[in-house]
Amino acid sequence: MRFSVPHPIPYQGSKRRLAVAILSHIRARHYRRLIEPFAGSAAVTLAAAQKGIFSSYVIGDVLEPLIQLWQTVIENPGRIADQYEALWLQERANPIGAYYEIRREFNKDNDPAKLLYLLARCVKNAVRFNPSGEFNQSPDKRRKGTRPPTMKAELFAAHRLLKGKCRAISTDFLPLIQQAQQDDFFYLDPPYQGTSEGRDLRYIAGVSRQRMIEALAILNEKRVPFVLSYDGYCGNRKYGEPLPETIAHRILLDVGRSSQATLNGNHDVTLESLYVSHSILQNQKHTIYSLEDFTAQASLFNSLV
């Protein structure tokens, strides 16, 4: 079961499909504020706001143009919609050349509207940065990205959900955790370990396993509940080592065949880990669930509003 939730900022790895499974761990209205320190598409925040589960929201990210983009969505979606349309129309005569020109300009001025265009047009909506901090993903030659009327509708829908309720902050995740209060609820979706350490570095800033463990220990000490997406499997390929059981319960979520595997003609299934703080789950052993297992949990949203 899915809810009709706006999704204006396309982002590979977005948890839009998993929002029901993630938010199903909110058992009662004990929490005032949802904090999502690794914003990306802010899919979980938007899903929670759609159902009014929290009274306020905080989205954070170290990628400053992304936070500027979210601030504009919250405050003035018409402006970003117009800027996006102008960029989208700019590529009519020479789509690939226009993309590379806009990418070059973004790497100089960090314009949030250009970031939105690049995310909508790049391969698999996958944000990638080189070691110098420059956006370096290539254009998707098979599609043109979100059409301006659709993008405008998505931007305004997100604006209506977040206006007056959400703060967007450009920050590392740790200060948000250090400032956590007992009526807060955290959803954390950092880059997977497999893309944060070693040679396969893709993002503007990764998060080491040890640093994440130390941060979660702070939340546990404060008794602030959290759900974390941090590692997983795709076929025989493993993304990171499981976190210690003393930190949180681990649930393996079967999300089906990976899109990349499908393109390659393979049948690899993706398993994503959800780590749920001990303050939420009691006596839960890690088990493999499918998304359908959480369909019944979707009724929980209706009981919360």
Q: Please tell me whether residues 52 and 183 are part of one structural domain.
A: yes
Residues in the chain: 305
CA distance linking residue 15 with residue 46, whole number of Å: 11
Q: Please tell me whether residues 189 and 234 are part of one structural domain.
A: yes
Sorting pLDDT into bands at 50, 70 and 90, what band is 144?
A: confident
CATH number of the domain to which 195 belongs: 3.40.50
Sign of the Cα pseudo-torsion (35, 128, 132, 233, in order): positive
Identify the CA nearest to 269 among candidates 259, 256, 260, 287: 256
Q: Please tell me whether residues 110 and 52 are part of one structural domain.
A: no
The SS3 assignment for 171 reads: coil
| pLDDT for 1 | 37
Q: Please tell me whether residues 142 and 278 are part of one structural domain.
A: no
CA distance linking residue 291 with residue 269, whole number of Å: 13
Is position 120 within any domain?
yes
Q: Please tell me whether residues 238 and 300 are part of one structural domain.
A: yes
| pLDDT for 198 | 44
Position with higher pLDDT, 30 vs 216: 216
Q: Please tell me whether residues 28 and 176 are part of one structural domain.
A: yes
What are the pLDDT digits (tens) for 13-52?
778 778 888 888 776 567 899 999 999 999 999 999 998 9
Is position 1 within any domain?
no
Among candidate residues 119, 151, 183, the one where a domain is terminated: 151
Q: Please tell me whether residues 56 and 82 are part of one structural domain.
A: no
Least confident of 102-116, 273-287, 291-305: 291-305
CATH number of the domain to which 102 belongs: 1.10.1020.10
CA distance linking residue 89 with residue 102, whole number of Å: 12
Q: Token digits for 24?
A: 């199903």
Is position 6 within any domain?
no
Q: Please tell me whether residues 191 and 249 are part of one structural domain.
A: yes
Sign of the Cα pseudo-torsion (240, 62, 199, 261, in order): positive
Q: Please tell me whether residues 44 and 82 are part of one structural domain.
A: no
Task: State the first-to-last Cα distance of the chain, in angstroms, to the nearest integer.
Answer: 18
Q: Please tell me whether residues 299 and 213 are part of one structural domain.
A: yes
Among candidate residues 151, 179, 210, the one where a domain is terminated: 151
Q: Is the pLDDT of residue 140 over 80?
A: yes
CA distance linking residue 259 with residue 107, whole number of Å: 29
CA dihedral angle for residue 149, residue 203, residue 66, residue 110, rounded to 10 degrees: -100
Q: Token digits for 69?
A: 């983009």
Q: Please tell me whether residues 57 and 85 are part of one structural domain.
A: no
In the numeric block, the tokens 């904090």 are attached to 35
Average pLDDT, the chain: 83
Percentage of the chain surpassing pLDDT 70?
78
CB 207 within 8 A of CB 196: yes
The amino acid sitting at 212 is: M
Q: Is the pLDDT of residue 161 over 80?
A: yes
Domain total in the chain: 2
| pLDDT for 246 | 93
| pLDDT for 196 | 45
Is position 2 within any domain?
no
Is position 164 within any domain?
no
Task: Identify the DSSP state of 236.
Answer: T
Q: Is the pLDDT of residue 294 over 70?
A: no
Q: Please tell me whether residues 181 and 294 are part of one structural domain.
A: yes
CB 30 within 8 A of CB 138: no
Instruction: Please state the rounded mean pLDDT for residues 204-215.
Output: 84
- Please state at what angle helix 148-162 crosses helix 64-75, rounded to 10 degrees: 80
Angle, vertex CA 253, rays to CA 40 and CA 175, nearest 5: 35
Find the domain containing 95 and state its range: 76-151
- The answer for residues whose C-beta is within 8 angstroms of residue 18's C-beta and 6 or more apart is 229, 253, 255, 272, 274, 291
